[in-house]
Copies of this chain bind each other. A is one copy, B any other.
Amino acid sequence: MVKSKIIAIGDELLLGQIENSNAAFIAQKLYNIGIPVHRMVTIGDVREELILELEDSLKNFNVTIMTGGLGPTHDDITKSTLVNFFNDKLILNESVLEHIKKLFENRGMEMPEINKEQAFVPSKAKIIWNENGTAPGFWIEENNKIFISLPGVPFEMKPMITDSVIHMLKEMVVPLLGYYQKSKTILTTGITESALAELIGDVKTIIGENNKLAFLPSATGVRLRIDVTADSEENADLVMSKLIKKVTEKIGKYIYGFDDDTLNKIVHNQLVKKGLTISTAESCTSGMLASALTEFSGSSSFFIGGINSYSNVTKIEILGVNADTIHKYGAVSEETAIEMATNVRKKFNTDIGISITGIAGPTGGTDEKPVGLVYIGYSDEKKAYAIKNLFGNNRERNRLRAVNAALSILHFELV
């Protein structure tokens, strides 16, 4: 088995000033190529601590990925510590220097002298190109162990992992494993974990003895992770596509995407593909759905606008909901949700209108209409309806789940 470790380096992490979001990202990518992470460590900008970790890695881990400590200031100790530890020396890399100069040029600035230092790289290292920043990454091999050093800024580090590191590891390390592991995550919406399990039936007969299926529930839907192991990459791909097909036959209706897909992005693509326009009317979420629908560039082709009708006066006067409807059924009701969706669609002259009205909490609930009660209204030229949801007590989570429920309805309508 190939064992890997992630070391995050930086005082700001130990002070709790920033969260380490890099480790989970890297771990997921490594797992997907069959190199599970066995340990994550966070240390300060302290030479001795890094040396202890490097010694541990030389003994116990095939692959070590470090993030952080590659900046140009004296606090950044990663590069010089690596050079000392591996008895290497620094040499100037002209193309890295050009790249750094160019980055400053693009911002209309001259390169500060201190940044030239970042173009000096360990002579034994392979360079991992950093398209988005001045600090290159390094790939060092010693005693058949691999040490990879990357910058700590997620925006710089993440593309280096997906564009370079994962491919390099697949080429070098995975063949040594003697087997190929593939992982794929199936994303579902609109169904509970137990209902999914019932539809799938006996996991072993579908997945086989050598593969794994894990259920991962979350606030935005249940994910299914399939792990496949085979003797070649081709066979792993073959088995995976067979399994995906089998699972899709059982639960295809509820699958909206795979791996890094999001429901936001999928609905965005569905709207673009169908050439339909949409408008929103939101009460308790007050703009969260509208901002989710405009998360990605290009959303102006389908998103025309929306009304955040947080108060009843806005529902009635701006959105034109019948005051009698609110009086008779309440602002949080099937009837109001349907009127909100239909009125916003007509007002904005869009193909689809979607609405959210609910009691986010923590106050405002009654026995009849408790905190967490949320109606999602849908309207197009042919039909209008509302779906009732009962979420929990947490305001923030209720608002997120309401947006997700609305996206889920849009996804099913746009299939």
Contacts and interface: CB of A to CB of B under 8 A. Distances in A.
Contacts of A38: 14, 44
Contacts of A28: 15-17
A27 interface: yes
Contacts of A309: 305
Interface in A122-137: none
A310 B303 contact: yes
B15 A31 contact: yes
Interface string A12-55: 01111111110111111111000011111111100001000000
A286 B347 CA distance: 17
Nearest to A347: B318
Contacts of A280: 287, 308
B26 A16 contact: yes
Nearest to A301: B311
A216 B348 contact: no
Contact of A20 (B17, B23, B216, B295): B23
Interface string A348-385: 10000000000011111000000000000000000000
Contacts of A23: 16, 19-20, 42
Nearest to A318: B305
A229 to B, nearest CB: 16
A97 interface: no
Copy count, this protein chain: 2
Contact of A216 (B17, B286, B394): B17
A313 B308 contact: no
A343 to B, nearest CB: 12
A290 interface: yes
A19 to B, nearest CB: 4
A285 B287 CA distance: 9
**Which of A18, A43, A305, A310: most chain B CB closer than 10 A?**
A305
Given A286-B287, A290-B308, A297 B27 contact: no
A288 interface: yes
A410 to B, nearest CB: 16
Interface string A296-337: 111110011111111101100010000000000000000000
Contacts of A362: 297
B306 A348 contact: no
A37 B21 contact: no
A155 to B, nearest CB: 8
Contact of A40 (B13, B29, B307): B13
A295 B361 CA distance: 11
B308 A305 contact: yes
Nearest to A396: B295
A293 interface: yes
Contact of A300 (B16, B25, B311): B311
Contacts of A314: 304-305, 348
A307 B306 CA distance: 6
Given A16-B27, A20-B20, A21-B19, A300 B310 contact: yes
Nearest to A26: B16
A339 interface: no
21 contacts: A14-B38, A14-B39, A15-B27, A15-B28, A16-B26, A16-B31, A17-B24, A17-B216, A19-B19, A23-B42, A39-B43, A41-B42, A286-B287, A294-B310, A297-B362, A300-B311, A304-B311, A305-B314, A307-B307, A307-B308, A314-B348
Given A16-B28, A300-B310, 6 more contacts: A15-B37, A16-B27, A286-B290, A287-B288, A290-B308, A304-B314
